[in-house]
Amino acid sequence: MSSALRAQSVTLPAGITSTIQLSEADAGAIKTFVDASTPDLSGSDPTKVHNAMDALRSPFSTTNIRSMSISFRHRYSDALMPTLQGMITPALLADASSDLPVRALSVAGELGTDDAADLLVAQIDAQRADVRYQAAYGLRRTFYMVNNNTITPIMTDTKVASLIKAIGARAATETDPLVLDGLIRALDEAGKSDAARPQVVRVLGGAISTNFKSKHPSAQPAEAAALVRAALAMRGMLSDPAAIPASDVRIGAEMAGQLAAYAARAVNDKVVSAGGNQELRRALADLATASQNAVLVAYSKLNIGQQAPKAAPLGDTLRTGTVANDAQFVVDVGSFVNDVLAKAPYNFPASSFQLK
């Protein structure tokens, strides 16, 4: 029997994913299920590879993960990890034509175990952008698993915090916009946890500010689009009624202010101009709007019961695409810095937001 047919014929016993105390027979069934697909996972036939990945990820459906037992998750991970580790070697990572590391990381993201998370986080600094992206996506899935298991915690808060810290360190230096977007998505997912949210606000805010506070904007819309996601994620976390330390809220607001300044630099640098790249203009206008809103939401969180100061809507001005309104946009960002960010409760130095 071919490996593909063998994999199709092997199934897990009903109810095993939620079984709290697994027997030796259960452990054997898990290993048999995993072993039926792992040969094709590292094979060269695209159809068999696809089927193997689907089979290995199949126990982690949305329905299953909510009730999945720790015992099953760990047994499954233990059976699969040696194969995944063997697909991420220095030689394979150095071979740009090999997608074995990407395949392994794609499956690892479903496991939600410390070992799998360690495998993923080790690759967010990989030389290859495709590997970094898949590692970021896998960590996003890991946080999803952590946030959506309703039976018992699958990962300690300390472990989650270490992953968030590592992602932030990478986001502070990442230059590939698609990888950056993946890192931001991972942090956004982590921030859906009440326990992790303050750290995510602090880490995301600090990382993006560090990376972009003086960087000259890219002419590629993908970078601005990734930053829009960061601003929207920050606004969402700051909008949550759960308490966040004031010092962390300020870090989030500073990030948003830096992104508004980034959009102003794009105009001053002529990266975007009247009649130019409309996709880029839309992304920068969305960035200006999302950043401004995040600053104002942070203001309300720091000043409960007080209305945020009125300010000219930044994105609307930039969206029009005229020479006069582009100039006005830069003026409006400067006013927003001076009238909101440089005053209480923020009191940031206006000079820290570079418009040119």
Residue 2 in this model has a pLDDT that exceeds 50: no
Query: Averaged over 202-217, what is the pLDDT?
Result: 97
Q: Is the pTM of this model over 0.85?
A: yes
**Per-residue pLDDT at 170 exceeds 80:** yes
User: What is the predicted pLDDT for the residue at 310?
Assistant: 86
**Do the beta carbons of residue 326 and residue 265 sit within 8 Å?**
no
What mean pLDDT comes out for the span 293-317? 89
* Predicted local distance difference test score (pLDDT) of residue 292: 97
| Residues 234-271 pLDDT 10s | 999 999 888 899 999 999 999 999 999 999 999 999 98
pLDDT band at 308 (very low <50, low <70, confident <90, very high): confident
Helices 100-108 and 129-148 pack at an angle, to 10 degrees, of 10
Mean pLDDT, the chain, as a whole number? Answer: 94
Work out the pLDDT band at 137, boundaries 50, 70, 90.
very high
Q: What pLDDT sits at residue 321?
A: 86
pLDDT confidence of residue 276: 78
Whole-angstrom distance, CA of residue 40 vs CA of residue 167: 31
| pLDDT given at position 7 | 52
Maximum alpha-carbon separation in the chain: 74
Query: Per residue in 18-45, pLDDT tens?
Result: 999 999 999 999 999 999 999 999 999 9
Confidence at residue 1, expressed as pLDDT on a 0 to 100 scale: 41
**CA proximity to 138, closest of 100, 186, 170, 82:** 186
* Band of residue 222 on the pLDDT scale cut at 50, 70, 90: very high
